[in-house]
Amino acid sequence: MEIKLEEIFQDKIDQEIKIEPRDWMPEKYRKTLLRQISQHAHSEIVGMLPEGNWITRAPNLRRKVALLAKVQDEAGHGLYLYSAAETLGMSRDEMLEELHSGKAKYSSIFNYPTLTWADMGAIGWLVDGAAIMNQVPLCRTSYGPYARAMVRVCKEESFHQRQGYEIMLTLTKGSEAQKAMAQDALNRWWWPSISMFGPNDDNSPNSAQSMKWKIKRFSNDELRQKFVDVTVAQAELLGLTIPDKDLKWNEERGHYDFGAINWDEFFQVVAGNGPCNKQRLKARVDAWENGAWVREAATAYAEKREAKANNQIEAA
Ligand code: BYC
């Protein structure tokens, strides 16, 4: 019976029919999606912290408004994604518990510090640029609620990327000190950004099955290569140098070759030992604890309204 159901399921995937919450699905498909979508949601929420650090220090009102809007969008992305994950049978409270206890992962990139204003430019340009590369194919992922959430997320990400690139353009056209600040931000964010796509394909345990189920449409290395290929010209336009001496166009492959990623550093960061892991997790746990009274008040208000509505029905 199970085998037959699996065949029907794979057949739907092969025919590009979306899987919906009430459809039969293999337990491993459900678990893989829950893992990926909840990690994605956590990344959006933790991803608000490095940029939130600069909202009060934005150099002018226009920059402040744009950054504030971007960080709010990230909260929204987290909420759509938690909702998509909830359709797979785990509550938001359970997912948050996994984040706060350190059991759940979130993207490595958000464990690096934001030291200068130029980091707001570099994050928008590189981190959101990498996110777009990874997430546009997720608009066609096989699970309906995830695919639909990603359509809106991607529209907003493209505004974020331009917001960052425009900061970089302004800085690189500015004084020598501003240009140096932009180069320094690129130096610090380049390698973490290309690591964000995840381990190389030969070291990515989840990829083969996720590609078969069309959760992923491209491998980690394919997406990383596409990102490097489009970003080199953008760096040239800014007059900045990507910090990789092995970066060079390979005529035969029709792609840029690039240097070796420091995977030791990546796995250390993923394991919780990056420069800001403890700080990021503490900020989320504190926000959860300090917000307890808001959740309690909202629940009490909802109960009161429901009781009132029930009384009105009985009286009628
Ligand atoms: N950081 O077999 P693999 C954003 C883990 S939000 C930490 O290739 P998979 C943004 C991976 O989870 C950015 N861990 O896994 C927000 C797995 O461990 P587990 C987040 C990573 O799932 C605000 C192990 O390594 N984007 O863009 O097939 C502002 C082996 O990897 C990372 C998403 O979440 C990492 N970078 O592929 C700006 C997109 N990479 O779980 C921007 C959706 C790998 O088995 N997610 N690991 O213990 C995905 O596309 C995939 O989950 C990944 C990994 C490509 C990330």
Map residue 143 onto helix, strand or coil. Answer: strand
Q: Is the dihedral of CA 46, 130, 160, 248 positive or negative?
A: positive
Q: For the segment 259-289, what is each residue's pLDDT rounded down to a tens digit?
A: 999 999 999 999 999 999 999 999 999 999 9
pLDDT surpassing 90 at residue 253: yes
Q: Which atom of ligand 1 is nearest to the CA of 205?
A: 2
Question: What pLDDT was estimated at residue 247?
Answer: 98
pLDDT surpassing 80 at residue 2: no
Question: What pLDDT was estimated at residue 1?
Answer: 63
Q: Is the dihedral of CA 72, 77, 80, 81 positive or negative?
A: negative
Q: How confident is the model at residue 127 (pLDDT cuts 50, 70, 90)?
A: very high
Residue with the nearest Cα to atom 39 of ligand 1?
A: 40
Residue type, position 31, single letter: K
Ligand 1 pocket, residues with Cβ under 6 angstroms: 35-36, 39-40, 43-44, 47, 74, 105, 107-108, 127-128, 131, 134, 196-199, 204-207, 210, 216, 220, 270
Mutating to test ligand 1, I would choose from 38, 55, 195, 270 the residue with most ligand atoms within 8 A of its C-beta, which is: 270
Q: For the segment 163-189, what is each residue's pLDDT rounded down to a tens digit?
A: 999 999 999 999 999 999 999 999 999
pLDDT surpassing 90 at residue 109: yes
pLDDT surpassing 80 at residue 39: yes
Q: How confident is the model at residue 315 (pLDDT cuts 50, 70, 90)?
A: confident
Query: Which residue has 């608009």 as its token pair?
Result: 139
Inter-residue long-range contacts of 174-181, CB under 8 Å, 24+ positions, other chains counted: 178/118, 179/239, 181/116, 181/117, 181/118
Mutating to test ligand 1, I would choose from 67, 123, 204 the residue with most ligand atoms within 8 A of its C-beta, which is: 204
Map residue 249 onto helix, strand or coil. Answer: strand
- Alpha-carbon span 18 to 126, nearest angstrom: 31
Q: Which atom of ligand 1 is nearest to the CA of 108?
A: 1
- How high is the mean pLDDT of the chain? 97
- Alpha-carbon span 110 to 281, nearest angstrom: 11
Question: What pLDDT was estimated at residue 316?
Answer: 76
Q: For the segment 194-225, what is each residue's pLDDT rounded down to a tens digit?
A: 999 999 999 999 999 999 999 999 999 999 99
